[in-house]
Amino acid sequence: MATPRTRTRKPKAASPCETAGHDDLTGKEGADMPVIRLGYIQVRVTDMEEAVNHYSNTLGMKIMATGEGGPHMSPHGISPGKLTYLKAWDEWDHHSVVLEEGGVGLVKFGYKVSSADDLNEFERRVQRFGTTTQRMSKGENLAVGDGIRVTLPSDHVLELYYEMDYAGTETGALNPPPWPRDARGAAVPRLDHCLYTAEDPELDERFWSECLDFRAGERLITDPSDPELIGTWLFCGQTPHDVAVIKGPNGKLHHFAFLLEDWNAILRAGDVFGMDQVSIDVGPARHGITRGTTIYFFDPSGNRNEVFSGGYLSGPAFPPITWTADQLGRGIFYTSGEVNERFTTVVT
Amino acid sequence: MATPRTRTRKPKAASPCETAGHDDLTGKEGADMPVIRLGYIQVRVTDMEEAVNHYSNTLGMKIMATGEGGPHMSPHGISPGKLTYLKAWDEWDHHSVVLEEGGVGLVKFGYKVSSADDLNEFERRVQRFGTTTQRMSKGENLAVGDGIRVTLPSDHVLELYYEMDYAGTETGALNPPPWPRDARGAAVPRLDHCLYTAEDPELDERFWSECLDFRAGERLITDPSDPELIGTWLFCGQTPHDVAVIKGPNGKLHHFAFLLEDWNAILRAGDVFGMDQVSIDVGPARHGITRGTTIYFFDPSGNRNEVFSGGYLSGPAFPPITWTADQLGRGIFYTSGEVNERFTTVVT
Amino acid sequence: MATPRTRTRKPKAASPCETAGHDDLTGKEGADMPVIRLGYIQVRVTDMEEAVNHYSNTLGMKIMATGEGGPHMSPHGISPGKLTYLKAWDEWDHHSVVLEEGGVGLVKFGYKVSSADDLNEFERRVQRFGTTTQRMSKGENLAVGDGIRVTLPSDHVLELYYEMDYAGTETGALNPPPWPRDARGAAVPRLDHCLYTAEDPELDERFWSECLDFRAGERLITDPSDPELIGTWLFCGQTPHDVAVIKGPNGKLHHFAFLLEDWNAILRAGDVFGMDQVSIDVGPARHGITRGTTIYFFDPSGNRNEVFSGGYLSGPAFPPITWTADQLGRGIFYTSGEVNERFTTVVT
Amino acid sequence: MATPRTRTRKPKAASPCETAGHDDLTGKEGADMPVIRLGYIQVRVTDMEEAVNHYSNTLGMKIMATGEGGPHMSPHGISPGKLTYLKAWDEWDHHSVVLEEGGVGLVKFGYKVSSADDLNEFERRVQRFGTTTQRMSKGENLAVGDGIRVTLPSDHVLELYYEMDYAGTETGALNPPPWPRDARGAAVPRLDHCLYTAEDPELDERFWSECLDFRAGERLITDPSDPELIGTWLFCGQTPHDVAVIKGPNGKLHHFAFLLEDWNAILRAGDVFGMDQVSIDVGPARHGITRGTTIYFFDPSGNRNEVFSGGYLSGPAFPPITWTADQLGRGIFYTSGEVNERFTTVVT
């Protein structure tokens, strides 16, 4: 049996970071970061056939299952109608994208944690934070085990779970080639992160940080002398971000992103989007924030997707980066320093 | 104050992975992986001036300090003579490479952990494992705080620490550009991992796994029916590997690696190596194991370096990959499937 | 003295190309294509210091000479004031960009031909075409030999010459490295092409084709049943285009372009533009026409520049490509299929 | 009938190039360079099925025709047996590779010229040079028009022709996408060049230069004080080379090369070669000579292939580059500066 260990608040970092007061804002302590990653996202689509064609043929995901769904599968108590479950080629869990027929916009997203114990600990913290939680049982989501469902301060529905049926990657686990020979379209390897809007980004940043041990790698503030938080990019592992929150209406999604190998894969993806007449929002482009490269685009129903690549390695000791509002354009799109209106206003 | 939490052994994974019996070999449990990364490596060099030129002008690192050193700084009780401390541009801690005048080969490497508590816990586990540990105090290594020094079963000297003086990256933490305008040579952003040899790789794998919560992402075995471990690639965060062990003499280093942005940076680095007449071992090449891209080369004293890029995201739930000895060549260099003799025999 | 040579119309190509009637439009015959490339371009700049900083530090060109200029150097009979001559690192001739203080926009461009004989032949053809020509003598342009000056049907000033002082590339001609170690900024290797506007693009296409043996590699037409030419991309060697003409006001320049190595160099250039706060028009992007990749941007005076990379190999037997106006967006920017208003309206 | 045209020797270039005496060696004059490119290459293969699988599935070429062949198709008067004709996706002529069943090694290669007139002129020059020529008639090679067959001083069989049946590229000539969606394997866009061995490279260089207007872009010599030519890289258009000759046995082929888009396509091709267990000679690598990037590999019969990318734009005014034998390694493989024995000794 493993030895229990206690966690105490870490003394203030010996290494002063340039973002004064950051530690106080995010309340970070030790290095326990047991949330693993964004595991799945469920969005509504107006036309299932068009949507499946987009995620399957254009993005290259594999259809894993379809279903009628049922009332229990919707956090809003409404029958979701038809559902389609898809998986990217380098993912080993059963699915990462769930399409729900009817409308547009985010239904919910799920983050995978490491164990039932972690789930219990997170539940305690979330309740202490004053947020509503609900237990969800195995099978409530197809192929997903027990978990908890949380309504964030910003009204988004977050599910935490530690088991999903294992499906295996397309390249397998025995002497695998570096990529699958029969990849289709943009051939996205995996789901990466999502970015949503919140009326009070600081409150949601506190939620992710205090309840789930996320850390803010980059923060966009109005101005250093009297800082108000406009956006925050939080990670739980070593990527630049696993979730991001920007100021905007509660309950809305800005985009969810798939990871690509590199800048060249961004070009190839863009070529596929051109061939398939995908509606492009912005890109190819370089981000200032995260240092990644990107294309933003819309699925046929209007949900904004991103293909994202690059960026640094973050991690527990990462010194957070501050962006000031006067450099907002450069932070979002580094090359031009300009952000189009659609990018800043359209959310679903 | 934070609530203590207990850790219990996780029930066997619901998702069967294709590597039968792997869990038994590595003995992994929860997702606590508080070792952050390879923080520094100290190697001996025959000619300090040539060595500094290599790490500074060819690789692009910054000289952070030089010193006479002292007896206490050598784990072997020998005065190390002159020392040079260098840092890569995207690293924020004081240094990551320490050059020690005299000879060639590994002196020791340091892994950063998250807190003093983690250090205590690791010390207990290491002692329970039956490995010799020694306390090291702040200042024993320049700019490094308290820690423990461990002699691995394979005779390598490992130091664990949780504090190093903060120096900041070259691009800063306020509205940073994606890379420093005045980068030199190959402009390596950071130290990434090291690979050493051990007479009993399985024993060292158990050490990293049981004492330090590393996980084996990829394992090279003789053959599935009667598996003997030839090599193991272990991670503590989300990269494909933070340390690797292959069968060979105890106490020897195969290489230590710097991370590059992508395959294009590998080409540019190779061009710089050509201009500077660096001795190349192999590459540019694609790895089967880790899926990364690489060049192996030697510093002027004969220590093998690597520039490495790419690879997948690992993490707590990563299903381990198995390579069999008949595919060893493909595992090491995927394109050709061939490994030169120097690569398999020269260690320092 | 060289013998004049007559050119007879080639029998219709054995290989039918998909662009019906194209041969009739461009009137191409044999394979004589003695114009070598766009050798230099001269543009006006409002502020010489800012302009030199842009071409020198941001684009990485080398300042080769500065001069007061004189009335004979301006095709409009006006003293051009101060002049600055710059060269890119992989160019061996004395200069490729000439900045002229005062105003904004194109002064003239020069295409290099192979010999004095070619010059004579071209002069005869141009005169037969009914276009005004003028002899220019060695030294009239700094470092440039004898030539002829032609006012195109579209009022642009074209100079043809066969000699320019040899300066050598930055990597030299003896055992050269692949690129110069001390390159600055975007480090453009060479000038590539220019695109200008003409009220009657078909007339200018005929000029380039009949007088100078250029060929149209791609043509943008209103619609195949009743084709009107909107734009034409012409080459004299094996690149996708050495000059391009699109419908618009006479005498105006849309952009001139520098060649970069590949898509990765486009990203790096864009990063430099972000660091230097260069005004970006569009990009990074993929072209449909030419298949190249690109960023359009403005120098501090408002002259539009491009960094361009990729594209196919054209050449004498290249079957021309047709774009129809309904696919104009896709032709210009393949990923999005959308062209911003600034791109289509701002010319200098 | 076309008027013959005389060519006069150009006055010595005003721009001195760093390669003293080069003009005398290659005897170049004007800019007439009517050979367009390497159009096809015919090689023997021991096993047609394996060979077709290699060129079709691994390299991604399209099978255009198969045939029994006949005695007239072999320059050696021997029935060639079965033949397979293949085309790369961005080529518009009927085929570029011809596989001939039986044995291994070069049968012949064909370069395309611009017109029947050019053919006549070349025939005269070749005869004046003292080389044996033979007329070949339309249909002697499938889909190829009239031409001449020349036995080079080095015993290789060269065919010159100006017509081949038009097949069109895979992306078409109307609003084409940048690449074909259904590309297979390495998806090579086109044949690029070949390199053969000759006992007297200087004699063959003179042949290509004096008879066919090729120019040497790079030359490898023993040493500048008493230069003997070891290798020469000659171009007829604007690529770094369309043919190359190195010292070695007469009548033998070192390799023929396919063009790839960029360094990233080189990596992808290498991955495909790994998946298909292609026998690799060297690479991925950077060339010093031509500045290109490369992988050398063998088809299943042992003919050496190359995938090649990058390099500069050459052209009529290109100042030739000299490599000296002491830098031979760097010239061939820039990163390592080392050439393996197989690369220098195995020819077919």
The answer, yes or no, to whether residue D19 has pLDDT greater than 80, is: no
> D74 near D4, Cβ under 8 Å?
no
Specify burial of residue A199 (Cβ count, 10 A radius: 0-12, 13-18, 19+).
middle
- Using 50, 70 and 90 to split pLDDT, how confident is the model at A23? very low
- Using 50, 70 and 90 to split pLDDT, how confident is the model at C344? confident
Smallest Cβ distance to A237: which of B177, B189, B238? B238
- Using 50, 70 and 90 to split pLDDT, how confident is the model at D4? very low
The answer, yes or no, to whether residue A24 has pLDDT greater than 70, is: no
pLDDT given at position C8? 34
* Strand C243-247 with C190-198, pairing: parallel
- Using 50, 70 and 90 to split pLDDT, how confident is the model at A21? very low
pLDDT given at position A223? 87
pLDDT given at position B165? 97
For residue range A109-152, list pLDDT tens digits in order.
999 999 898 999 999 999 999 998 999 999 899 999 999 999 99
> B201 near B232, Cβ under 8 Å?
yes
Residue B283 forms contact with D (CB below 8 Å): yes
Q: Mean pLDDT for chain D?
A: 88
pLDDT given at position B81? 64
CA D54 to chain centre: 19
Residue D8 forms contact with B (CB below 8 Å): no
Q: Cis check for the bond before B284: say yes or no (omega within 30 of 0).
A: yes
pLDDT given at position C69? 58
> D237 near C31, Cβ under 8 Å?
no
> A274 near A58, Cβ under 8 Å?
no
pLDDT given at position D9? 32
- Using 50, 70 and 90 to split pLDDT, how confident is the model at C12? very low
pLDDT given at position B7? 35
The answer, yes or no, to whether residue D43 has pLDDT greater than 50, is: yes
Lowest-pLDDT range of C243-252, D8-17, D74-83, D163-172: D8-17
- Using 50, 70 and 90 to split pLDDT, how confident is the model at C14? very low
State which H helix or E strand residue B50 sits in.
helix B48-53
> A102 near A46, Cβ under 8 Å?
yes
CA neighbours within 13 Å on the CB side: how many for D133?
Answer: 22
Digitized pLDDT (tens) for each residue of chain B, 348 residues in all = 333 333 333 333 333 333 333 333 333 333 354 799 999 999 999 999 999 999 999 999 999 999 875 444 444 444 446 899 999 999 999 999 999 999 999 999 999 999 899 999 999 999 999 998 999 999 899 999 999 999 999 999 999 999 999 999 999 999 999 999 999 999 999 999 999 999 999 999 999 999 999 999 999 999 888 889 999 999 999 999 999 999 999 999 999 999 999 999 999 999 999 999 999 999 999 999 999 999 999 999 999 999 999 999 999 889 999 999 999 999 999 999 999 889 888 899
User: Is D54 noted as a catalytic residue in this protein?
Assistant: no
Q: Mean pLDDT for chain B?
A: 88
Question: If phi over 0 gives left and psi between -120 and 50 gives alpha, with beta otherwise, what is residue A296?
Answer: beta
pLDDT given at position A8? 33
For the whole model, what pTM was predicted? 0.91
A335 with C285: Cβ contact below 8 A: no
Report percent pLDDT > 90 for chain D.
80
> D252 near D269, Cβ under 8 Å?
no
The answer, yes or no, to whether residue D21 has pLDDT greater than 50, is: no
| Phi/psi at D329 (5° precision) | -60, -50
User: What residues 138-197 of chain B have any CB closer than 8 A to a CB of chain C?
Assistant: 177-179, 181
Nearest CA in chain C to A296: C336
Residues of chain C neighbouring A335 (CB-CB closer than 8 A): 270-271, 273-274, 280, 283-284, 295
Q: What subunits touch chain A, counting only 3 or more CB pairs under 8 A?
A: B, C, D
pLDDT given at position B32? 56
For residue range D268-304, list pLDDT tens digits in order.
999 999 999 999 999 999 999 999 999 999 999 999 9
User: Is D72 noted as a catalytic residue in this protein?
Assistant: no
Residues of chain A neighbouring B15 (CB-CB closer than 8 A): 92-93, 163-166
Smallest Cβ distance to B14: which of A3, A163, A178? A163
Give the angle A261-A264-A269 at the CA atoms, nearest 5°. Answer: 80
- Using 50, 70 and 90 to split pLDDT, how confident is the model at C254? very high
pLDDT given at position B16? 30
* Active-site choice (A54, A94, A193, A254): A193
Q: What subunits touch chain C, counting only 3 or more CB pairs under 8 A?
A: A, B, D
Lowest-pLDDT range of A148-157, A319-328, B326-335, C5-14: C5-14
For residue range B239-274, list pLDDT tens digits in order.
999 999 999 999 999 999 999 999 999 999 999 999
User: Where do the H-state alpha helices sit in chain A?
Assistant: 22-26, 48-53, 116-129, 201-206, 212, 263-275, 328-332, 341-345
The answer, yes or no, to whether residue C21 has pLDDT greater than 50, is: no
Domains, chain C, with CATH or none: 35-161 (3.10.180.10), 187-345 (3.10.180.10)
Identify which has the larger pLDDT, C250 or D31.
Answer: C250
Q: Mean pLDDT for chain A?
A: 88
This complex has an ipTM of 0.89
User: What residues 243-262 of chain A have any CB closer than 8 A to a CB of chain D?
Assistant: 262
Give the angle D232-D238-D239 at the CA atoms, nearest 5°. Answer: 55
- Using 50, 70 and 90 to split pLDDT, how confident is the model at D39? very high
The answer, yes or no, to whether residue C24 has pLDDT greater than 80, is: no
- Using 50, 70 and 90 to split pLDDT, how confident is the model at D100? very high
- Strands of B83-87's sheet in order across: B62-67, B83-87, B97-101, B35-45, B105-113, B157-161, B147-151, B133-136
For residue range A161-180, list pLDDT tens digits in order.
999 999 999 999 999 999 99
For residue range D64-85, list pLDDT tens digits in order.
999 875 444 444 444 446 899 9
- Using 50, 70 and 90 to split pLDDT, how confident is the model at C179? very high
C273 with A330: Cβ contact below 8 A: no
> C169 near C183, Cβ under 8 Å?
no
